C-alpha cells in the first residue's frame, strides 16, 4: 500500500490523547505523594521521594519502549489499559494497604514504580505511531507541548478541583476511567493498525475497565468508609475530605476527632486540654474584652472563653471551613454551641496571612493559638519567629497569648523550640504542661510582652479539671521534661518540623 492509499491518522484526537496521558500521569504522581504524606507524615520527604521514584520509573518505561518492535499501536492501547487499571485503583489500593498491610512503604513504592513505568511507555510509543505523519521537529514540538500543557492542567486541577470535589479515591478512579476511555478511543483512531480480532477484544476490555471503575466510583464512599474503619478503634460516624485535610470523627465510649489520621480531641478528656489552654491565660490577662483565637475551629476553646462574662468580641481565624461546619453538626452539644455565639466572628483564612494584613486592627487582650502539631512545613510556619512577631503586633501592651506546644515529654525538643522561638520574637514566656490521658503530658506556652509571674489563682471557679492548687503545679517541670538546647524555628529554616518528625518516629505518636 502506497502513502496515498494508507489511512491517515486523526492527529487532533491523538494530540488530545497526549494531553490526557500527561494530565492523568501527573495526577497519579500527585495522588501517591499526597496519600503518602497523609498517612506517613513529613510532606517534604514523601513528595520528594515519591516524585523522584516516579520520574525514575518513567525513565525505565521510556527505556523499555525500545524493545517494543512490532504491533506498536496494539501495545500502546494495552499500556493505556494497564495504566487505567493500576492508576485508577492506586488510591483505593494504597488506602487498603495502609490499613491492612504490614509493610505499606513496599506497596507504596511498588505501585509508584509500576504506574511510572507504564506512563513512561505511553509517549514514546505514541511518538513512534505518529512519526509517519509528521516531520521529526514538528512531532517532538507538538507532542512535548501537549505533554507539558497536560502536566500543568493536572497539577492545577488536582489541587483546586478534583481533590476538594471528589477526594483522593474518586480522583484516582476518575482518571483511571479517563485512561480507559483514551484506550477505547485509540482502538478507533488506530484501528487500522491493529488486527480486527484484537481490536474487538481491546474494546471489550476497555469497556469492562470503564464499567468496573465507574461502579467503584459510585460506591467510593462505602469503600472509603470500610477502608478507614480499619484504621480506627471505634465506628466512623463522619468523614470528609476538605481542600486542606481529611476529617474523620469516630464514636464509641467517647467521640474523637482525627485530622489526616492524627487524633485532635476526645470528648472523654478534652476538658483537661481546653481548660489548660484557656484559663491560665485568662488568669493573667487584666482584661478579656477582645479575644483572638487562631485555629480551634472545633469550638471547644471557644466554649471555655465564653464562660467569662466580660468577653465582648471573639475573632476566630481557622483556615478550614469544613472543620467548623463539622463541629457545628457533630460537637454542637459538647462545645456548648460556642460556634453560634453572637459575640463570635469567624474568618476562614491562613492565620499568618491574616495577621500580616491586620496589623492595624484594634489590639486584642488575649490570644489563644490552637494549631495542629507542626508535622509539615505548612503548619511549621505557624510556629516560627516570624509568625510570633506578626502575632505580637496585634496584641495590646498588657495582653496575654497562649500557644499549644506539643508534648514536652514525647516531643521535648519540639516543645522547647516553640518556647525559644516565642522568646526570640520578643515575648516573655512561662511554659507549662498538663496531663491529658488521650495524649499524655501536653505542653503550652504562656507569654506576654512584659515580664510577668506565673498565675497562682484562676479568674473563674467551678471548672472540671483546674483549680488553684492544680494550676500552680502546671508550671513545674520534672527533669525528663526540662529545658534542652534547641535552635530557633525561622521561616526559611524550619528546624521544628525536623525535630517533630524525628520525635514522632521515635515514639510512633
- Annotated active-site residue 138? The verdict is no
Report d(CA 217, CA 230) in Å as an integer: 20
Contact 253, 268 (CB under 8 A): yes
Active-site residue (options: 298, 370, 373, 501): 370
Q: How far apart are CA 100 and CA 412, in angstroms?
A: 31
> Quick one: the chain helix, strand, coil %, rounded to 5?
55, 15, 30
Instruction: State the CB neighbour count (10 A cutoff) for residue 290.
Output: 21
**Helix (H/G/I), strand (E/B), else coil: 421:** helix
- Between β-strands 255-259 and 290-295, what pairing exists: parallel, antiparallel or unpaired? unpaired
Q: Which residue's entry shows cell 523550640?
A: 417
Task: Note every long-range contact of 472-478, with CB atoms under 8 Å and residues 24 or more positions apart, other chains counting.
Answer: 474/276, 474/280, 474/432, 474/433, 474/434, 475/430, 475/431, 475/432, 477/408, 477/431, 477/433
Q: Are 239 and 273 in contact (CB under 8 A)?
A: no
Helix (H) or strand (E) holding 407: none
Question: Among residues 287, 312, 291, 289, which one has the least CA distance to residue 301?
Answer: 291
Length, in residues, of the chain: 509
The C-alpha cell of 267 is what? 470528648
Rg (CA), the chain: 28
Q: Give the containing element (helix H, strand E) for 439.
A: none
Question: What is the DSSP code string of 464-495?
Answer: SS--HHHHHHTT---GGGS-------BTTB-H
Residues identified as active-site = 370
Amino acid at each position: 500500500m502506497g502513502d496515498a492509499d494508507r489511512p491517515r491518522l486523526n492527529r487532533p484526537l491523538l494530540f488530545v490523547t497526549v494531553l490526557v496521558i500527561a494530565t492523568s500521569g501527573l495526577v497519579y504522581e500527585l495522588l501517591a505523594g499526597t496519600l503518602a504524606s497523609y498517612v506517613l507524615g513529613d510532606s517534604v520527604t514523601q513528595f520528594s521521594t515519591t516524585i523522584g521514584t516516579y520520574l525514575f520509573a518513567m525513565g525505565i518505561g521510556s527505556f523499555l519502549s525500545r524493545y517494543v518492535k512490532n504491533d506498536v499501536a496494539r501495545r500502546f492501547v494495552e499500556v493505556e489499559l494497564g495504566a487505567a487499571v493500576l492508576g485508577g485503583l492506586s488510591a483505593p489500593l494504597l488506602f487498603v494497604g495502609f490499613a491492612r498491610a504490614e509493610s505499606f512503604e513496599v506497596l507504596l513504592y511498588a505501585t509508584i514504580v509500576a504506574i511510572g513505568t507504564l506512563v513512561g511507555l505511553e509517549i514514546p510509543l505514541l511518538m513512534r505511531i505518529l512519526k509517519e505523519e509528521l516531520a521529526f521537529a514538528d512531532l517532538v514540538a507538538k507532542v512535548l507541548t501537549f505533554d507539558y500543557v497536560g502536566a500543568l492542567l493536572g497539577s492545577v486541577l488536582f489541587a483546586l478541583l478534583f481533590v476538594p470535589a471528589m477526594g483522593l479515591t474518586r480522583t484516582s478512579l476518575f482518571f483511571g476511567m479517563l485512561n480507559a476511555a483514551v484506550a477505547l478511543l485509540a482502538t478507533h483512531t488506530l484501528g487500522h493498525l491493529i488486527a480486527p480480532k484484537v481490536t474487538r477484544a481491546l474494546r471489550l476490555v476497555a469497556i469492562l475497565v470503564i464499567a468496573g471503575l465507574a461502579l467503584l466510583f459510585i460506591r467510593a464512599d462505602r469503600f472509603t468508609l470500610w477502608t478507614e474503619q480499619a484504621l480506627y478503634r471505634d465506628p466512623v460516624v463522619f468523614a470528609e475530605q476538605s481542600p486542606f485535610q481529611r476529617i474523620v470523627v469516630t464514636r464509641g465510649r467517647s467521640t474523637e476527632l482525627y485530622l489526616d489520621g492524627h487524633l485532635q480531641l476526645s470528648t472523654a478528656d478534652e476538658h483537661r486540654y481546653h481548660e489548660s489552654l484557656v484559663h491560665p491565660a485568662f488568669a493573667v490577662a487584666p482584661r478579656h474584652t477582645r479575644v483572638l483565637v487562631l485555629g480551634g475551629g472545633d469550638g471547644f476553646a471557644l466554649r471555655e472563653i465564653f464562660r467569662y462574662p466580660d468577653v465582648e468580641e471573639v475573632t476566630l481565624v481557622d483556615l478550614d471551613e469544613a472543620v467548623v461546619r463539622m463541629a457545628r453538626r457533630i460537637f454542637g452539644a459538647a462545645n456548648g454551641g460556642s460556634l453560634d455565639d453572637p459575640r463570635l466572628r469567624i474568618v476562614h483564612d491562613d492565620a499568618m496571612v491574616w495577621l500580616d494584613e491586620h496589623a492595624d486592627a484594634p489590639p486584642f487582650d488575649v490570644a489563644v493559638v490552637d494549631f495542629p502539631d507542626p508535622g509539615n512545613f505548612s503548619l511549621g510556619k505557624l510556629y516560627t519567629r516570624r509568625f510570633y512577631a506578626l502575632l505580637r503586633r496585634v496584641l495590646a501592651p498588657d495582653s496575654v497569648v497562649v500557644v499549644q506546644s506539643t508534648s514536652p515529654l514525647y516531643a521535648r525538643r519540639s516543645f522547647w523550640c516553640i518556647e525559644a522561638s516565642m522568646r526570640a520574637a520578643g515575648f516573655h514566656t512561662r511554659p507549662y504542661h498538663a496531663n491529658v490521658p488521650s495524649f499524655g503530658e501536653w505542653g503550652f506556652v504562656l507569654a506576654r510582652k512584659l515580664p510577668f509571674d506565673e498565675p497562682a489563682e484562676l479568674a473563674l471557679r467551678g471548672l472540671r479539671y483546674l483549680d488553684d492548687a492544680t494550676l500552680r503545679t502546671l508550671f513545674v517541670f520534672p527533669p525528663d521534661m526540662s529545658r534542652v538546647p534547641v535552635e530557633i524555628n525561622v521561616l526559611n529554616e524550619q528546624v521544628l518540623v525536623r525535630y517533630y518528625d524525628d520525635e514522632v518516629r521515635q515514639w510512633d505518636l
